[in-house]
Chain A
Amino acid sequence: LAKTTQPISMDSYEGQEVNITCSHNNIATNDYITWYQQFPSQGPRFIIQGYKTKVTNEVASLFIPADRKSSTLSLPRVSLSDTAVYYCLVGVPYNAGNNRKLIWGLGTSLAVNP
């Protein structure tokens, strides 16, 4: 099973672009890469999901190189409200009878400073 490794913490300033990299050397062919955001006293919230190359939505971009052994979540122009823990997940999302696992990383605590 794939194992995910991500930095424990990062610091940034308002208006900067933040890139959080996750390594997953043992990623399997069918595995997707997903990122969640979690604020204190709340459950995680889905940010973005991808399989290869680049995915972009209204809040973030996800860059995945050709070998898929790592991925980078990019947050453009962060604000104070982006201070949160960001989790990288690798695996095939659960489905009926699907025994494949989603492997959660331990999370990156991002602090955005004024």
Chain B
Amino acid sequence: DVKVTQSSRYLVKRTGEKVFLECVQDMDHENMFWYRQDPGLGLRLIYFSYDVKMKEKGDIPEGYSVSREKKERFSLILESASTNQTSMYLCASSWRGDEQFFGPGTRLTVL
């Protein structure tokens, strides 16, 4: 079974802090994704990576950056966390154009 793990299930940070969310997949998938999920807004894509060191902006990249130094690991970085970044963050991976496998999510609260 494909396994996508995220570094934390719950995270509480203060405004202005730098936040790292880590995601690891164990199936050698090429594609990795970061989404945020908010009530009434569904899933929105933040960033997408299709190879090591390759990334593309999604629908809402502002305030975020990403890093993919190894194929299995995709990190989401909030350079200076703000309260409007309080959300559920979901990481996913896929083999080329196939179905996406999601991690359990990280619920981030920014105070």
Contact = CB atoms under 8 A, between A and B. Distances in A.
Given A43-B105, A99-B56, A106-B41, A94 B94 contact: yes
Contact of B102 (A45, A95, A98): A45
Contacts of A101: 45, 59
Can you list the 5 inter-chain pairs with the closest CB atoms, starting with the nearest? A43-B102, A93-B97, A46-B99, A96-B50, A106-B42
A98 B99 contact: no
Interface residues of B, number: 30
Contacts of A42: 102, 104-105
Q: Classify the secondary structure of B's interface with A.
A: strand
Interface SS of chain A: helix, strand, loop or mixed? Answer: loop
A97 B50 contact: yes
Interface string A96-112: 11110110111100000
B76 interface: no
A97 to B, nearest CB: 6
A44 interface: yes
B42 A93 contact: no
B14 interface: no
Given A106-B42, A107-B42, A43 B51 contact: no
Interface string A75-99: 0000000000001000011111111
A44 B90 CA distance: 9
B59 to A, nearest CB: 8
B43 interface: yes
Nearest to A4: B42
A43 B99 contact: no
B96 A106 contact: no
